Structure 1
Amino acid sequence: MSYCNSGDKVTVTYVFGDKQTSVFKTSQSPIEVATENYQDNSTSNFDANGFQITFNSPQGQYGTITAVVTDYSIEFYDFGAFHPYTGYYINLVRCGETSFPPITEGDKGAKMSDLNLTIDRTVKCPIVRSTSGLCEIKVLVGGKTIFSAHGKCPVTFDVACGDDCPEGFCKCKSLGYPGYCCLDCAVVASEIHSITQSLKIKNNGR
């Protein structure tokens, strides 16, 4: 889903499971916001449900390799201009595994004949890979990530365009840039109620 119009200043207010409110501001717009599970030792290709990947490889039967995985990474290794081992290698996290296998002198993954690969997300692992219990939020512009953060699940967010505050937040004047701040209305109301109750107790005690 796209948020804000071109030229708008954008404020993304997000809250992880620890209930601490954080804010990200950008002058780039429109933006997209994505939330997903966060996994240490993983790439942006990670999918806990798994997917089928097929690529060309001289190491595979009939010149191709097909595997069901939860993640993959591709690296280029240079052993010299005409060395037969120079080229791109793909490393896979197969179903049931929780991390990439170690890269060693003799095993850098599967050598790729080229960078072409196909992914079939209708094929999944029989068991969903367990996650770290962390969630990630990403802000994207034109499909490219310009900001990301991770914390305890779940994660919720609101987006405000221009000088507005997100729904549920109060706009208050501020001495610092940009001249205002957005406060959580529910938190402010709770603090006011707490102060009022404390005053009532003190007054009744006189």
Structure 2
Amino acid sequence: MSYCTNKTKAVVKFHFADNKQKIFESDKVPIEVVTGLADDTLKATVNFSNGYPGENPQTFNFTINAPPNIPQGLQTPPEIYLISGYWDDWGSVGSYSTGYGIVKSYGGDSPPLRIGSGYSINGTVVNVKPYECFARCELEWRWGGCKITISSQGKKVFEETGACPVKFKVSCDDDCPPGDIRCEHPGYPGFCCIPCKGTADKINNLANRIK
């Protein structure tokens, strides 16, 4: 869809699943704004390392949590991949097990291995010899993303990817976007835009309290 024809400036306010508003301004108008699924998968890595007392042969359990920057409540839970791992003596993480042995590992030339999905994953380390044991894992969380693309006269001028969904509003020059009302404000740029629906809901709630 085309915005800001016969105007001098376009302002696009948008946010992804984290609801952190971002702003893109362009004096190349009109603009077209398109949203959709991103071509690349979003990724975040966690490095886990922990040691355990090993006076007696036994199994120790551990849990690795997803990085905090992964949005909660995704429609499709993020997938978890094992990049590398090192167990002394042996153990598991997610669906992967090293098999019995003394000092087992995963990595090197091995490709990332999908071992589960979700926001946390469990693992074990098994002590065979009566010494301290430990587990080290590098895990990668992967999840789908959305992108917003802004073009002018057929040329892309801006693009950004984030966790789905992505929502945006467009205003032209010093106008407010559709569905907002303009209010004077002492700070730059001298006015602010307030959503009509949110304001109406607050007024209705206040009126109901007064009754």
Give the structure-2-normalised TM-score: 0.42
Give the structure-1-normalised TM-score: 0.43
Higher normalized contact order (CA 8 Å, seq sep 6+, divided by chain length): 2
Q: Which has the higher strand share?
A: 2
Q: Which has the higher helix share?
A: 1
